[in-house]
Amino acid sequence: MGTMERYHRQIILKELGAEGQQKLLSAKVLVIGAGGLGCPVLQYLTAAGVGTLGIVDDDVVALSNLHRQVLYTMEDIGKPKAAQAALRLRAMNDDVQVIVHAERLTTVNAWNLIAPYDIVVDTSDNFPTRYLVNDACVLLQKPLVYGAVSRFEGQVAVFNVPTKNTAAVNYRDLFPTPPQDGEVANCAEAGVLGVLPAIIGSLQAVQAIKLIAGIGRPLINRVQTYNLLQDSWYDFEVQPAPLPNPLQPTSRAAFEATGYAVQCGISGFEEIDVAQFNQLLQQADTLVIDVRELDELPPVTEFAHRQVPLATVPDLFGNINHQSIVVFCQGGKRSQQAAKQLAHAFPLKKIYSLRGGILSWKEAAQTKQHERTQA
Amino acid sequence: MIQVLLFGQLAELAGASNLELDGVADTASLQLELQRRMPALATTTYRIAVNKIIVTENTPLSGGATVALLPPFSGG
Hey, where are the domains in chain A?
2-261, 267-374
Residues 15-54 of B with CB under 8 A from A: 17, 43-45, 47, 49, 52-54
Range of B14's domain? 2-70
User: Which residue type, as a one-letter code, is found at position A124?
Assistant: S
Taking the CA of residue A195 as centre, how many other CA atoms within 13 Å lie in the half-sphere pointing to its CB? 4
- Continuous segment of H or E residues that includes residue A328: strand A324-328
Q: Say which of B5, B54, B71 has its CB closest to residue A237.
A: B54
B23 located within any domain: yes
Closest chain B residue to A239 measured between Cα atoms?
B54
Residues of B in Cβ contact (< 8 Å) with A191: none
Q: Higher pLDDT residue, A374 or B14?
A: B14
* ipTM here: 0.95
Q: How far is A343 from chain B (nearest CA, A)?
A: 22
Cα–Cα distance, A145 to B76 (Å, whole number): 13
**A&B contacts, CB < 8 Å:** 99
**Whether residue B25 has pLDDT greater than 90:** yes
Percent of chain B with pLDDT over 90: 96
Closest alpha carbon to A174 in B32, B11, B7, B2: B7
Count CB atoms within 10 A of the CB of residue A155. 25
So what's the pLDDT on residue A72? Answer: 98
Whether chain B has a CB inside 8 Å of the CB on A242: the answer is yes
* Backbone region of residue B48 per phi and psi (left: phi > 0; alpha: psi in -120 to 50; beta: other values): beta
Closest chain A residue to B53 measured between Cα atoms?
A237
Whether chain B has a CB inside 8 Å of the CB on A206: the answer is no
Mean pLDDT of each 10-residue bin along chain A, 375 residues long: 83 97 98 98 98 96 96 97 98 98 90 98 95 98 97 97 92 93 77 95 98 97 97 96 92 87 76 90 92 94 95 87 92 92 79 94 89 79
* 3-state secondary structure labels for all residues of A41-100: HHHHHHHHCCCEEEEECCCEECHHHCCCCCCCCHHHECCEHHHHHHHHHHHHCCCCEEEE
Decide if B9 and A38 are in contact by the 8 Å CB cutoff: no
For residues A344-374, one letter each, b for 16 or more C-beta atoms within 10 angstroms of the residue's C-beta and e for the rest, the string is bbbbbbbbbbbbbbbebbeebeeeeeeeeee
| DSSP string over A246-282 | TTS--SHHHHHT--HHHHTT----EEE-HHHHHHHHH
Decide if A234 and B52 are in contact by the 8 Å CB cutoff: yes
Kindly calculate the radius of gyration of chain B based on its CA atoms and give it in whole angstroms: 12
Residues 134-173 of A with CB under 8 A from B: 147-151, 153-155
Beta bridge partners of B71: none
Q: How far is A179 from chain B (nearest CA, A)?
A: 6
So what's the pLDDT on residue A2? Answer: 53
Whether chain A has a CB inside 8 Å of the CB on B62: the answer is no
Closest alpha carbon to A193 in A67, A60, A316: A67
Residues of B in Cβ contact (< 8 Å) with A187: 75-76
CATH architecture of A2-261: 3-Layer(aba) Sandwich (3.40)
Cα–Cα distance, A63 to A75 (Å, whole number): 10
B76 located within any domain: no
So what's the pLDDT on residue A1? Answer: 44
Q: What is the CATH number of the domain that holds B41?
A: 3.10.20.30
CATH topology match: A2-261 vs A267-374? no
Mean pLDDT (whole number) for B41-69: 95
Whether chain B has a CB inside 8 Å of the CB on A186: the answer is yes
Q: How far is CA A211 from the centre of its chain?
A: 23
CATH topology of domain A267-374: Oxidized Rhodanese; domain 1 (3.40.250)
Residues of B in Cβ contact (< 8 Å) with A38: 76
So what's the pLDDT on residue A267? Answer: 61
> Are A136 and A114 a contacting pair, CB within 8 Å?
yes
Cα–Cα distance, B72 to A103 (Å, whole number): 25
- Specify the number of domains making up chain B: 1
Beta bridge partners of A234: A225
B19 located within any domain: yes
Q: How far is CA A368 from the centre of its chain?
A: 39
Q: Long-range contacts: A310-315, Cβ < 8 Å, 24+? A: A310/A334, A310/A337, A310/A338, A313/A338, A313/A341, A313/A342, A314/A341, A314/A345
